Amino acid sequence: MNKITFMGAGSTVFVRNVLGDCMCSDALKDWEYALYDIDATRLEESFEIISAMNETKGGHARITKHLGVENRKEALRGARFVVNAIQVGLYDPCTIIDFEVPKKYGLRQTIGDTLGIGGIMRALRTIPVMDDFARDMREVCPDALFLNYTNPMAMLSGYMQRYTGIETVGLCHSVQVCSEGLLKKLGMEDKLEGRRELIAGINHMGWLLELKDKDGNDLYPEVRRRALEKNESAMKDGAEKHDDMVRMDYIRRFGYYCTESSEHNSEYNMFYIKSKYPELIERYNIPLDEYPRRCVNQIAGWAKERDELKTGKHLDHQRTKEYASYIMESIVTNTPYEIGGNVLNKGGLIENLPQDACVEVPCLVNGMGVHPCHVGRLPVQCAAMNMTNINVQLLTIEAAVTHKKEHIYQAAMLDPHTGSELDMDTIVRMVDDLIETHGSWLPRYK
């Protein structure tokens, strides 16, 4: 029996979506789905829900559960695909630390899971765990494809791709909803059907480089006009704000829209969250401390959702837009499929970004695996914006590989938001404070 292993199966809503999608595929529905987690309660809840969903779908799959590090190899043994959705340190204590310690130094964040000091810390505590996964995979499933959903995407996928020998593609859901969301926000729904697009860059800052209607007409001139009008209207006194003002401002300032939300992108640069310009927070409708709020709400809402799932209210499943099941199906059936994937920039897929960078580009999937497509050069200003993030990503990976604390300092200093708010001595003190407060969640740095 073919096998899909899900690492971090306690992420019940996510495991339900990905494995529920697999149950909707004739090519994958009778496989073994191996659930792995280190939290016994969450693993058991996921096992019950996935098993019940499997019965609703006809009982074709075999569901197994594997608890703890001592059972990790067995969870991975013989897997053809490994899906990764772990969160090392969870909301409490680690996400709380990522937000509260920087606040003491005057540094505010919105999401903190991809870039900035929060993204750096999350990568440093997650890479050692993923390295352990890779070591086990080399022994028990060396040919498996590793599908990474965990953030910070570019740092974690980039580490796996450069240092482990495990075939890895990073997956996000921001690419497949990017142009649809933009056109709907701008009242251009009539252009959705048959549209053509090109998206490339890095995760959470992939650029919508081309957008054409079904007849090949360039939609960007009208997009730029409407985006400017939408933001200018929202900035008038007493006007109601909308939730995508930063990305609309990107269109004005840099010429292009990007993949991930405004709450994310507000902290990926030095422009919007500035203690010297507090009025920008209101002007651009920036939700500070957004991720901790989401975590609290998700935890509070989970008990209700869990009980409803157990009573069978949501045990049927409609296939989602998540790439994972479509990638597996494409490889198994040798049916071509296109994704936006996070892959190493090997051979210069994007010519004006470093080859060590993990980039997000169109990829063809078929029976031979994932094949990234050459994009060429990004507009200079888009590559420059990406580079401010790539600098942090590469230095964080370097810190994880060498265990040298100086590279953590350098990553934080070169982070556009951190470096624009704090002086270098304060950054060093903040990093030391974060390392000490995280304690055993972080490896030792010299």
Average of per-residue pLDDT across 357-363: 98
C-alpha distance from residue 441 to each of 90, 121, 432 (Å): 10, 10, 14
Burial 240-274 (b: 16+ CB within 10 A, else e): eeeebbbbbbbbeeeebbbbbbbbbbbbbbebbbe
User: According to the model, what pLDDT value does residue 314 have?
Assistant: 60
Nearest 5°: phi and psi at 32?
Answer: -85, 130
For the segment 314-339, the average pLDDT, to the nearest whole number, is: 94
Q: Which of 244, 292, 278 is nearest to 109 (CA)?
A: 292
Ramachandran assignment for 194, one of left (phi > 0), alpha (psi -120 to 50 degrees), beta (any other) = left
The span from the CA of 83 to the CA of 141, in Å, is 13
Half-sphere exposure of 226 (CA within 13 A, CB side): 13
Q: CB of 56 within 8 A of CB of 316? A: yes
Find, among 119, 107, 105, 93, the residue nearest to 288 by Cα. Answer: 107
pLDDT of the residue at 304: 73
**How far apart are the two ends of the chain, measured CA to CA in Å?**
46
Helix (H) or strand (E) holding 136: helix 116-140
Return d(Cα 393, Cα 19) in angstroms, integer: 30
Say yes or no to pLDDT of 311 above 80.
no
> Using CA atoms in the order 424, 425, 427, 431, what is the torsion angle rounded to 10 degrees?
140
Q: What is the pLDDT of residue 307?
A: 75
Q: Which letter does DSSP use for residue 348 in this model?
A: -
* b/e code 295-306 from CB counts within 10 Å (16+ = b): beeeeeeeeebb
Name the nearest CA neighbour of 172 among 147, 197, 190: 147
Asked if pLDDT for residue 315 goes beyond 80, the answer is no
Q: Is the pLDDT of residue 82 over 80?
A: yes
Please give the average per-residue pLDDT across 47-71, as a whole number: 95
Bridge partner list, 6: 35, 83
Within its chain, how far is the Cα of 314 from the centroid?
25
Give the residue ranges of DSSP H helices in 164-219.
Answer: 178-185
* pLDDT single digits (tens) 406-416: 999 999 999 99
Task: Compute the distance between CA of residue 31 and CA of residue 45 in angstroms, rounded to an integer.
Answer: 20
Cβ atoms within 10 A of the Cβ of 104, count?
Answer: 10
User: Degrees (nearest 5) of the Cα angle 47, 369, 334?
Assistant: 90
Strand-pairing partners, residue 196, are 212
Query: What is the pLDDT at residue 312?
Result: 64
Three-state secondary structure call for residue 343: strand
Where does 262-415 have alpha helices with state H?
262-265, 279-283, 290-310, 324-333, 380-402, 405-414
Report the C-alpha gap between 135 and 332 in whole angstroms.
Answer: 25
Mean pLDDT of the 216-244 span: 97
Position 445 scores a pLDDT of: 87
Nearest to 202, CA basis, from 383, 394, 410: 383
- Known catalytic residues are 173
Three-state SS at 180: helix
Query: Would the pLDDT of 309 be above 80?
Result: no
The answer to whether the CB of 266 falls within 8 A of the CB of 224 is no
Average pLDDT over every residue of 63-83: 98
Query: What pLDDT, on the 0 to 100 scale, is given for residue 306?
Result: 72
Note the maximum CA span of the chain: 63
DSSP 352-377: TS-TTSEEEEEEEEETTEEEEPP-BP
Residue 416 carries which side chain, given as an amino acid letter?
P
**Position 13, amino acid:** V
The region of weakest confidence among 116-130, 247-261, 296-310 is 296-310
Which secondary-structure segment (H or E) carries 11?
none
Strand partners, 343: 359
Return the C-alpha torsion angle 341, 346, 347, 352, nearest 10.
80
pLDDT at 313 over 80: no
